[in-house]
Structure 1
Amino acid sequence: MASVRVDVKPEILAWVATNAQSLTDKWRQQLATWIAGEKQPTVKQLQQMSRSAKVPFGYFFLDRVPQEDLPLLKYRTVANETLTQPSRDLIDVITDMETKQEWLRDYRQKQGFSQNRFNGAAQRVAGLSQLTATQQAEEILTLLELEPGWNEGPKSFDRFKQLRQHAEAANLTVMLDGCVQGNSHRPLDEDEFRAFAMTDAYAPMIFINTQDGYRARLFSLVHELVHIWYGQSELFNFDFESTTLVRNPVTEQRVNQISEAILFDQATFERLWTASAGQKPTSRLKLVAGSLGTSPLSAGIRAVRLGLVTQATLDDLKQELRADYQQYKQRQRNQTGGPSLYQVRAAHIDHAFVVDVARSAQAGDTSYPAAFALLGVRHGAGFDKLLAAIEGTGSHSGNGFSNELFNGFK
């Protein structure tokens, strides 16, 4: 039987050729043939093209070029001025998070939630422009029910987890992933973005790219929390090493200073620095960073600002860290085994969000297929496994989980 060929609009094919960075030369040649009208594609070819280009299959059947108007993209921070076209992976992650945010906003409004107190709280602070970065950091810590120096502790102390829990207690939704909707074949590029923040009166949301280093994620989370506090959405890609282009340099500089003050309380930092006397400067920075659960590079930048080390010391530290990072990546490549798929998803997804979706499905307000899509599972069995994995973490206290809720889905 002859293959069914599809009359796809040439402008759609041209749009795919322009926007799909992952296409091979072979597929680009094939596209050129279709655009020229020499031959029409088959359904199977379009399906293969969809996977290769990371473009939704339905786009090929549109009458006009798709308008992917994602407001968050205008907040991109980039370290290279020529980097103007976002990847399909980034677009799809933002779209997925916007879908989740829209659902959560609607759910909370129907449930009678008040508007989020943390979102845009800076606008309600009297004399904000007169406050120092440290004073603004203290305002944020108070809202999160934390104190200056909150992250000092032993190396085993998980500061990221603690801060995430305090953010979630303030009804902020924090999601993590290193690929597009759990698809390991579509890893996210840490050079394109590290995190993003989406403000909202009812459902402010933060996404952290887990391809980034573990300690670097803590700075990203703090940085995005400051943006939510200001009431500003943002897509973050600060690499500490190059001149980063941003829409509002003054605001971004202030956000970075506040972020540093949250992570590196000056009195705590200087005490730890004094306690590490006798070590070479780069070793002292690593020790201080270890005590605060941060990356050594961010600790080094803070030390430069405090006048404790010179730029030359920071440059030496960067060289050491590059070598350490290559060794870390090699260990990751050689590593086998690890947690199950659903354990990883349970660690990445916001647990309060899961509770809200589960309750809404149980009440009949959200269909189970829609609930599956929101939680990134394909069927009821996957839904059960995700709930069981979250229940097994024991980290959902205070988020409203109960045995009765879980038993309703098993």
Structure 2
Amino acid sequence: MTWCYTFGNVHSSQMMETLKLSPEILEWAADQSGSTLEEIARKISNRRAAVITRGELTTAEAVKFSKFAGVPFGYLFLDSPPDHRKLPLADFRTLVEPVPLSKDFYATFDDIEFKQNWYRTYLQNEQVAPLDFVGRFASKQSNAIVIAKDIRHTLSISDDEIQAQKNADALYSLMASRAEANGILIFKNGIVGNNTRRALSVKEFRGFVISDRYAPAIFINGVDAPTAWVFTLAHELAHIWLGESGISDMSPSSEDKHERFCNAIAAEVLIPSEKFLALWDAVDGDVDRKMEFVRSHTKVSTYVIARRALEMGRISRDYYNQLYKRLYEAARNKDRSGGNFYNTFPLRNSKKFTDFVTSLAIRGKISFREAGNLLNTNPNNVMTFHAQQ
């Protein structure tokens, strides 16, 4: 049989042909979208779901299957699934029930890496000096307290400033803006690019980091509980100071020495151990009362306090897990709509990177089309964003 299609379009004369496709391939394709073969089959046709799962599809159904699974139409005709893509970064994840990295993760990583490489090349062409804090402790035997103090000093963040923030979002914004002022690109997004139909999964990862002496980059999974964002950011900053690139889950039960060490550094950055212990021991009562006392005197989120308390053995892992579950569920039940596009646009693309690319386009250094490609939007949005600043 001769097939003639271009970019997934199939001639109408073939739409009713019955195809015999490999159920193994269909299962693989369904898995790429985080669905099961049965789920996609039912989306296509409840009446024919059992037939579809056996690999017997009309061409029209195969086209629908390709779209639902998000894989090229031609892939459905492979004899066996393609080889797994090699991980682009070290995998520091140690989830209890590890979830394979999906195409959404890879699409997100490819997008961030593309931006980071472009920015790095531009800086090098301009002969910008490398950043001396990247890998500063890569070969030094230093403890978490020393590294945390260096991160705070480099970012010019004090206890007074942290306490002055009104909530977890404000603290995250402070940390992110100081990191970007020092040359680190900070991306936070809960979807793939600007595609609101492709939500990321916190079960896969909570963040990743690209350590680079010219253009280090951090990505924060915005699907996670907002109170956890700042801890993820501090954790990934620790990886940069250690000169490590990788995918993280920030699990408190991690057996990976890199993750455990970065967890300890992140906790120290946000609440120094000496201050935490003084506050924790200053009040009698149960854990809930102590947690609230520390929160009222530090202004950091309950989640950050729980991470600090867990790192120092003051609460059990069960207590922490239950607290995180409540915070995560509360965040999911809250209205998490994207809001104003031009407010979320620079957060998804790194405010530093967005401002830089937009400025180049305004000054005629690059075209608006190129700027749009770099920022996953159309040229008109780039111009509108600049006009609103």
Class of the TM-score when normalised by the shorter of the 2 chains: 0.7 to 0.9
Shift of 1:181: 1.0
Question: 1:84-107 CA deviation, whole Å, 9 max, x = no partner?
Answer: 631221121111111111211111
Which residue pairs with 2:193 in the alignment?
181
1:244 to 224, 229, 254: 254
Which residue pairs with 1:86 in the alignment?
101
Shift of 1:196: 0.8
- Give, in whole Å, the separation in 2 of the partners of 1:345 and 1:8: 44
1:210 to 211, 218, 222: 222
Shift of 1:45: 4.6
Report matched runs for 1:150-189 at 5 Å. Answer: 151-153=162-164, 155-156=166-167, 158-189=170-201
CA contact under 8 A between 2:133 and 2:241: conserved in structure 1?
Answer: yes
Shift of 1:215: 1.6
Which residue pairs with 1:71 in the alignment?
88
Is 1:264 the counterpart of 2:271? The answer is yes
- Larger deviation: 22-31 or 277-286? 22-31
Shift of 1:204: 0.9
Question: 1:314-358 CA deviation, whole Å, 9 max, x = no partner?
Answer: 64465456446545543x1xx498832222223443222012222
Report matched runs for 1:35-114 at 5 Å. Answer: 41=59, 45-46=62-63, 48-55=64-71, 65=82, 68-72=85-89, 74-80=90-96, 83=98, 85-114=100-129
- Equivalent residue of 2:267, what SS? helix
The alignment's C-alpha RMSD in Å is 3.8
- TM-score normalised by L of structure 2: 0.79
Would the alpha carbon gap of residues 16 and 254 (structure 1) be closer, same or farther in structure 2, given more than 3 Å must change?
same
Aligned partner letter, 2:145: T
Aligned partner letter, 1:22: S
Which residue pairs with 2:153 in the alignment?
142
Which residue pairs with 1:350 in the alignment?
350
Aligned partner letter, 1:132: N
Would the alpha carbon gap of residues 149 and 69 (structure 1) be closer, same or farther in structure 2, given more than 3 Å must change?
farther
Question: 1:30-79 CA deviation, whole Å, 9 max, x = no partner?
Answer: 9999999977846x953x4443113356867999947744412x414031
Shift of 1:203: 1.3
1:2 to 12, 17, 37: 12
CA contact under 8 A between 1:173 and 1:350: conserved in structure 2?
Answer: yes
Contiguous gaps of at least 5 residues in structure 2: 1-10
- TM-score normalised by L of structure 1: 0.75
Would the alpha carbon gap of residues 342 and 119 (structure 1) be closer, same or farther in structure 2, given more than 3 Å must change?
same
- Give, in whole Å, the separation in 2 of the partners of 1:115 and 1:8: 56
Is 1:16 the counterpart of 2:40? The answer is no
Would the alpha carbon gap of residues 288 and 202 (structure 1) be closer, same or farther in structure 2, given more than 3 Å must change?
same
Aligned residue pairs total: 369
Shift of 1:117: 2.2
Would the alpha carbon gap of residues 339 and 27 (structure 1) be closer, same or farther in structure 2, given more than 3 Å must change?
closer
Would the alpha carbon gap of residues 57 and 111 (structure 1) be closer, same or farther in structure 2, given more than 3 Å must change?
farther
- Give, in whole Å, the separation in 1 of the partners of 2:303 and 2:374: 36
Which residue pairs with 2:306 in the alignment?
300
Question: 1:269-304 CA deviation, whole Å, 9 max, x = no partner?
Answer: 2343355x2554213213423544544344234335
Identity %: 27
- Give, in whole Å, the separation in 2 of the partners of 1:134 and 1:149: 18
Shift of 1:150: 5.2
Which residue pairs with 1:284 in the alignment?
290
CA contact under 8 A between 1:149 and 1:264: conserved in structure 2?
Answer: no
- Equivalent residue of 2:137, what SS? helix
Would the alpha carbon gap of residues 45 and 306 (structure 1) be closer, same or farther in structure 2, given more than 3 Å must change?
closer
Would the alpha carbon gap of residues 180 and 290 (structure 1) be closer, same or farther in structure 2, given more than 3 Å must change?
farther
Shift of 1:138: 1.4
CA contact under 8 A between 1:226 and 1:258: conserved in structure 2?
Answer: yes
- Equivalent residue of 1:190, what SS? coil
- Give, in whole Å, the separation in 2 of the partners of 1:255 and 1:324: 22
Shift of 1:220: 0.2
Contiguous gaps of at least 5 residues in structure 1: 392-410
Aligned partner letter, 1:288: V
Would the alpha carbon gap of residues 15 and 278 (structure 1) be closer, same or farther in structure 2, given more than 3 Å must change?
closer
Would the alpha carbon gap of residues 181 and 310 (structure 1) be closer, same or farther in structure 2, given more than 3 Å must change?
closer
- Equivalent residue of 1:109, what SS? helix
CA contact under 8 A between 2:271 and 2:308: conserved in structure 1?
Answer: yes
Which residue pairs with 1:382 in the alignment?
381
